Structure 1
Amino acid sequence: VVIELVAYGPGLNMFIPGKSPVEDRIETLSLELENLSFSACGNTHRKMSAKAGQDIPLMSEASVVPSGVVRLIELQENGFAYVRP
């Protein structure tokens, strides 16, 4: 099983160091599970950074993708299941 967690909109807060309520869990899981990756929506990140007036850092575990929603579509087209909390 391969898992990719894609965050966009308010969900992107989980990838912001010091603000994420699951920061420790993400760090631990990324070390324990080779088949787990984290993707951050570039559109959301850009808008959040513009609103803050500075670039908002993201956890090193998160890779920025151009669009979170488009990434979800790509994954579904490749046979991934979309599971929402």
Structure 2
Amino acid sequence: MIACNGTARAVLISVVALLIASPPSIAQEKRQASAQTSKRTAAETKAHRLVLQVNSNDPATMNLALNNATNVAQHYKEIGEPVEIEIVTFGPGLHMLRDDTSPVKARIKELTLSTPAISFKACGNTQENMKKAENKEISLISDVSVVKSGVVRVMELQERGWTYVRP
């Protein structure tokens, strides 16, 4: 151990305190800034994902879901960030995607052509139940995909971190 007088000890304590309290070096600042930029870049490029649920045979609700999807897609397109949007229908909401009863059929056809970020899913269970009840095949609008269960689809997307909205 080095013996030092009171003045030397005070100087030593001051130097140590300065080293502890001094700002990081330029190299440290660059490393920290680079790490923060990398984190931001990864977060910014991660796709935003939205699932919209439609389970009522109400044209206003259907149009609201389409408006929400269109607005979200447009927002992320304008700022250059990726987005995925699924509109999932089940129960009476399946009428939204039925070829014979959809009050929003023209809008859906236009969206499937103009906005690839938006996709449509129909509940297979509901389609089968409507087939039995109406004693006829239930045709869907082109470019609509069928999932076994609409509720399960919504649930699984939420479990994967998708944002859920019910218009």
Unaligned runs of 5+ in 2: 1-82
Counterpart for residue 2 of structure 1 = 84
Counterpart for residue 80 of structure 1 = 162
Structure whose CA Rg is larger: 2
- Give me the TM-score of the superposition, normalised by structure 2: 0.50
What is the total number of aligned residue pairs between the two structures?
85
CA-based RMSD: 0.8
Distance 1:16 1:76 in 2: 25
Deviation at 1:82, TM superposition (A): 1.0
Task: Report 1 or 2 for greater relative contact order, CA contacts < 8 Å, sequence distance ≥ 6.
Answer: 1
Counterpart for residue 64 of structure 1 = 146
Moved more, 43-52 or 10-19: 10-19
Unaligned runs of 5+ in 1: none
Q: 1:24 aligns with which of 57, 82, 106?
A: 106
Distance 2:166 2:108 in 1: 17
Q: Does 1:49 align with 2:134?
A: no
Contact 2:100-2:139 at 8 Å conserved across structures:
no
